[in-house]
Amino acid sequence: MVKTLSVLGSTGSIGTQTLAVAEKLNIRVVALAAGKNIGLVREQALKFMPSLVSVESEKDAAILREELGPKGIEVLSGDEGLIAVARADADILLTAIVGMKGLLPTLAALDDGRDIALANKETMVVGGEIVTWRAKETGSRIFPVDSEHSAILQSLMGNDRGQVEKIILTASGGPFRTMDRSELDNVTIKDVLNHPTWKMGGKITVDCASMMNKGLEIIEARWLFDMPYEKIDVLVHPQSIVHSMVQYKDGAVIAQMGVPDMKIPIQLALTYPNRVNSTFERVDFTKQALTFELPDEEKFPCLRLAKEAAEIGGTMTTAMNGANEAAVAAFLAGKIRFTEIADIVAASMKAHDVILKPTVEDILRVDAEARSAAVI
């Protein structure tokens, strides 16, 4: 089992839950990276006493340095700090940072042969081929933390992947599953952030409402499990009990189920392949029916756009992702309507000239260009 841990994104939803799990498992936290929430990261640092803390701005780092420095905690900032946390001497790096900002720290950790607990799907969306190749080269292991990909990993355990017929990713359908397409033009930020089953950060909650999140997960699954896109399907499952499934050539389907609680896949990523006792809530199958339906790609065009980007490949997934991140930020800032997110992504994809075998430098440039073009 993991004995030491570094966390990128320690003050977010996944990061805070990871630290709670680590505390119960007596895992020592050696490095933390946060964004702007210096109050919370200060509390975390004083509680776990890591050797290194990083925050987004140097101004905030200077404030923390005065308090944490005398306690032997180094404080860094910016990209330099993220890389330093990623390369800290830990058994595993959990990366829960939002967006493709997680790509370079993940690659740095892989260069050191470090195992990754991955809760940052954008890293695989923009750089999946490079990331998986780097992991194979250095012998690093990547353990998915997203509930869907953790479910797939568990449903594959003990089975020959060559016998897989298809992977079935499940989706809650978000808050607008039963709403007419015409009504989506007028939904508010509060409406979008009111997810029916999961409690998550703002960006991922918007992606869930638009179903872009499921498109990103298709791309992530392709790289994590070396599975062609034609073998990856999506079903809407509003109860969020079945987290994903694997169907085999003989027609058997293996599903992983549990309450919608991210601490369960987080703990497995830190203890894999072992399972450790927990007090997490258990499913009561007598209290609800489990239902499934096909996603509506006309009402939720972001899912269709992500699929199209995936089929084209190369830097198209980077352009799609960069435009989506910029558009989501604009929506959360009140600058655009919810339905305009898909319009911005579609325009970015249409304008992009694809590089089929990109370098890391190509990915970073395309991402910057897509964001710049999508700025409102």
Tens of pLDDT along 304-318? 999 999 999 999 999
Three-state DSSP class for 147?
helix
Q: How far apart are CA 122 and CA 213, in angstroms?
A: 10
How does residue 370 score in pLDDT terms, banded at 50, 70 and 90? Answer: very high
Chain-centre distance of CA 249, in angstroms? 29
Read off the amino acid at residue 153: L
pLDDT for position 376: 59
271-274 contacts, C-beta under 8 A, 24 or more apart: 271/1, 271/2, 271/25, 272/143, 273/157, 274/1
> What is the rounded average pLDDT for all residues in the chain?
95
Please name every residue paired with 55 in a beta bridge, in sequence order, or none if there are none.
77
Q: How far apart are CA 46 and CA 33, in angstroms?
A: 14
Please name every residue paired with 142 in a beta bridge, in sequence order, or none if there are none.
116
Q: Decide if pLDDT at 186 tops 80.
A: yes
pLDDT for position 202: 84
197-226: pLDDT as tens digits: 767 778 889 999 999 999 999 999 999 999
Read off the amino acid at residue 86: A
Sign of the Cα torsion 149, 151, 155, 158 reads positive
Q: How far apart are CA 92 and CA 370, in angstroms?
A: 32
Report the share of the chain in percent with pLDDT over 90.
Answer: 92
Q: How far apart are CA 38 and CA 57, in angstroms?
A: 10
pLDDT for position 197: 74
Chain-centre distance of CA 255, in angstroms? 21
pLDDT for position 113: 96
Q: Which domains does the chain have, with CATH numbers?
A: 4-144 (3.40.50.720)
